[in-house]
Chain A
Amino acid sequence: MTAAPYLNEFEAFAANGGASPDWLAPVRKQAFGRFAEIGFPTSKDEEWRFTPVAPIARRQFSAPPPASVTAAELEPFIFGHPEWPRLVFVNGRFDGGLSHLPGLASGVRCGPLAEALAADPSLEAHLARHAPVEQSAFTALNTAFLREGAFVHVPAGVQLDAPINVLFVSTSEAADSVTHPRNLFLVDREARASMVESYVTLAPGATYFTNAVTEVVSGPGAWTEHTRIQRESESAFHVGLTHVEQERDSHYRSFTLAMGGAIARHNLHVRLNAPNAETLMYGLYLTRGEQLVDNHTAIYHDHPDCRSWEVYKGVLQDKSHAVFNGKVFVEPEAQRTDAKQTNRNLLLSRGARVDTKPQLEIFADDVKCTHGATVGQLDEVAMFYARSRGIPLPAARRLLIHAFAAEVVAEVALEPVREELERLVHERLNLLSE
């Protein structure tokens, strides 16, 4: 019974109510019940064929103790400009001192979820209403322990200029503990916002477990850019779900960068709930050592005239392992769907491995859908080309690896976010062994 280690914890958590409104208690209870019912997946589960959950399931993780982080310790992990609005969570707890909440446009809500739960009855309509607990033990577990994370609400017509940073920090005190960050981003009709959600650590060797869920609702005509950066400890476990609901004429673009975790899994599910919505999904994973990084994406085309465009790329070294699974479902009424999905992998060593599976399930007849996946090494001809211009072998290798990664980072719309990502990726790739 895989739920047993979490039962006492849940009972204690449920008993004190997590200082939350009445409507939430049954939601949590039902979610825990679902978790107890289905338990953690095994490798027999098609969705988890290549990613072993046993190292997570057989460990006993506790709730993390509080920890304090200084501004100086945090500084290297603050993404982009320090003046951007910032919500910081240390070992799952909101840290107001490290956060930065300048006056935002009228009606914009941006703060810790626990606080919003107590104060904002409108949350009930969205929180835990989108990310389904039925199919996923991890989502169920997160929902059972739902309390803290970021709540951002951008009301109709408001255009936010600066990206909002949401930063989850794990410290050495987090060893052997689990956090369940829960975020809700609501971007209303014709509003415009950019969120940067990061998972970082001050303890690069620590083993802990982050089980995150983010729900995003992009209203009619809204424009949302969502950047997700996973830089956990390379001994940590990270499982995350991003669930997106899109309304008519909305534009949602996601960029996910994964470079941390011993075992890291991210599910990105986008549901296109009305015609003429557009989704762009870009991803980059950079793995080394014996890391396993798994990206599962699913796009549900339920309505006509929607577009989805997906490019995920990976650079793998050493004995690392990447998994990509991309599903595109096109329902019978989703005519004139335009969907393209690509996964490209660069293997820098013989020991590295990729399992990639793009999947299209199309039930409409008037659609334009393509998919493709490649796994390969650095192009010898390109390498010779660079060397023939005087660029030495190691620099030529680096140039081509950077080029491979840069192509997808270039798709990030907001320039300051893009530049910061370029810097981060550059830094990481410069550590590559020759």
Chain B
Amino acid sequence: MGIHQREHGLLEIRDLRASAGENQILKGISLTVNPGEVHAIMGPNGSGKSTLAQVLAGHPAYAVTGGSVTYKDGDLLELEPEERAQQGIFLAFQYPVEIPGVSNAYFLRAAYNELRKARGEEEADPIDFMDILEQKLKVVEWGPDIMSRAVNSGFSGGEKKRNEILQMAVLEPTLAILDETDSGLDIDALRIVAGGVNKLRSPERSFIVVTHYQRLLNYIVPDYVHVLAEGRIVKSGGKELALELEARGYEWVTEHATAGAGA
């Protein structure tokens, strides 16, 4: 599929199938992500793109019914969600969860220290952690006030998404999965969020960017674009594929896919 594909990618998804209850949502997805690559996953509503993101992070609501996912040469599907995070997977939620009663600073430091513990590193005390935070807050153009508020509690839609990117900046994942991070953002929030992501791009860090709209990809320019329809990848290409989709609509690829499946 990809031109730069290696023998072993950072992430190798092979014929992945997953369901929620009776409902089969992913019907055989294959995808390889190499270090430093940005893959955009596009598709109409209900195509399974958010499910793919959540299955990779280990959401317990989904059952994997077939296929395999190899991450850093290990079986990803064997791992608990926290183990995946400890090994460098980060999911930016489409709907970040509000946790009243826990400050943003406490939550983020707890997560940061769990990752450090898992790597056998020393935990950061609140004062050390404030120094780290100070740098990371710049990624999303925020002041320190946000840290004393309860996690996402009463945050605007834009603040919630910025908070996801802040968490990502602090936790420094190897593979970041952004699930519709652009949904519900006005143009200024989108610029800040996408700017944050771009500051975190590096040759060692890979991204899977799930989005319904091409708009986000003007800011976060992908290396590859994949189109999902009815639980399968029906078309893959370079960044220009997103523009073509924008111009021609999803029917263009999904009709083609249905015809292909029938042949």
Interface positions of A (Cβ within 8 A of B):
379-382, 384-393, 395-396, 399-400, 402-407, 410
Contact = CB atoms under 8 A, between A and B. Distances in A.
A406 B111 CA distance: 19
Given A384-B60, A385-B96, A392 B82 contact: yes
Interface in B10-27: none
Interface in B55-76: 57-61
Interface in B104-127: 107, 110-111, 114-115, 118
Given A380-B60, A381-B97, A384-B59, A390 B102 contact: no
A338 to B, nearest CB: 21
A402 B81 CA distance: 21
Contacts, number: 78
Interface of B: 57-61, 80-82, 84-86, 90-91, 93, 96-97, 99-102, 107, 110-111, 114-115, 118, 150, 167, 171
B111 A390 contact: yes
B102 A402 contact: yes
Nearest to A382: B97
Nearest to A403: B101
B166 to A, nearest CB: 12
B102 A387 contact: no
Contacts of B107: 386, 389, 399
A395 B107 CA distance: 11
A390 B90 CA distance: 9
B111 A391 contact: yes
Contacts of A384: 58-60, 81
A384 to B, nearest CB: 6
B179 to A, nearest CB: 11
A406 to B, nearest CB: 4
Looking at B58, B85, B90, B167, the one whose CB has the most chain A CB atoms below 10 A away is B85
A314 B109 CA distance: 27
Given A392-B82, A403-B99, 12 more contacts: A379-B97, A386-B99, A388-B91, A390-B82, A391-B111, A395-B114, A399-B99, A402-B101, A402-B102, A403-B100, A403-B150, A405-B101
Contacts of B102: 399, 402-403, 406
A162 B253 CA distance: 72
Contacts of A410: 101
Contact of A388 (B58, B61, B100, B110): B58
B81 A387 contact: yes
A386 B80 CA distance: 12
B57 A388 contact: yes
Looking at A381, A392, A402, A404, the one whose CB has the most chain B CB atoms below 10 A away is A392
A391 B114 contact: yes
B96 to A, nearest CB: 7
A379 B99 CA distance: 10
